[in-house]
Amino acid sequence: MTTSSELGELAVVTGASTGIGAATARALAGRGFHVLAGVRREQDADAIRAPGVEPLILDITEPDHIQALTSRVNDDPQGRPVRALVNNAAVQANVPIEVFAIDEWRRMFEVNLFGQVAVIQALLPALMRSRGRVINISSVGGKIAMAGYGPYAATKFALEAVSDSLRREMAPFGVGVVVIEPGAVRTEMLGRAIATGGALVSAMTPAQSRGYGALVHAVNAQAVASTQSGVPAGAAAAVIVKAVTARKPRTRYTVGREAAMIRWLPFLPDRTLDRIFAAALRPHFPKEDERHPAVPV
């Protein structure tokens, strides 16, 4: 049920073309918000446009796009306050650290961290006026960093740190900061991550291919198996809507049973975690590589 406090308020969702972002935009519109849905292409805008969902072309690494978003929020023709910023835009690639080119590292941080911070900085004055909320979409990769996930996990660990500092800084101003940590969610993101990783891996040297080829295969096979049994994007959207609308939201929410279990693993000793992750990855290696050095026994 839509409450009177939700009617006539704005919500901003970045990365709303597909998956969790699109599901969240539609779910918030269903609760009575007017959603400014950030997408990167006109065809994505056409796909998501609906009552209560207003698509905006938004690449969070482009300052002009962020300025346009800020102007749209501040100059809303109906004077509606902004209730929430949902920072969902992200990219992923499952690639070993050695073979992930430094320019690709920078691009991933530009999207997954610096772009998020840029949008937060731009909209904080409006959120402070409305005593709104910042909802940062992290990942279980913001708590643990498995083999093949180093670059992506690095950005999410950083986003978690930013979120903690921001929450403490914003408390006196009445702005809530909430982190969402999804586990396996059935979205298009995994397919893009595998395709991106595959292109990068294809450029590996012969020595790197011998060293990491089986590992990359296992990481992607494990990711596919996990995602197939994951929750739908709508389940993640429901958690995000709760974080936006709850009178006293928690500081963190997990999405899916897997995420709820994984969040406690960092309390185990490092070597114990190494063995747990190695054992979980071992069944996904090609048969001839069961004794691969990356998977100790």
pLDDT band at residue 5, thresholds of 50, 70 and 90?
very low
pLDDT score at 272: 94
Q: In the chain, what are the domain boundaries? A: 10-186+232-276
pLDDT at residue 6, as a whole number: 53
152 carries an active-site annotation: yes
The per-residue pLDDT for range 225-268, each reduced to its tens digit, is: 877 777 899 999 999 999 999 999 999 999 987 777 777 888 89
Look up tokens 């004055």; give the residue. Answer: 125
- pLDDT, position 7: 61
- What's the fold here for domain 10-186+232-276? Rossmann fold (3.40.50)
List, in order, residues 6 or more apart from 41 with CB less than 8 Å away.
17, 57
> The pTM is what?
0.89
**Active-site entry in 149, 152, 212, 253:** 152
CB-CB contact of 88 with 15 (8 Å):
yes
Alpha carbon 161 to its chain's center: 14
**pLDDT, tens digit, for every residue of 103-134?**
999 999 999 999 999 999 999 999 999 999 99
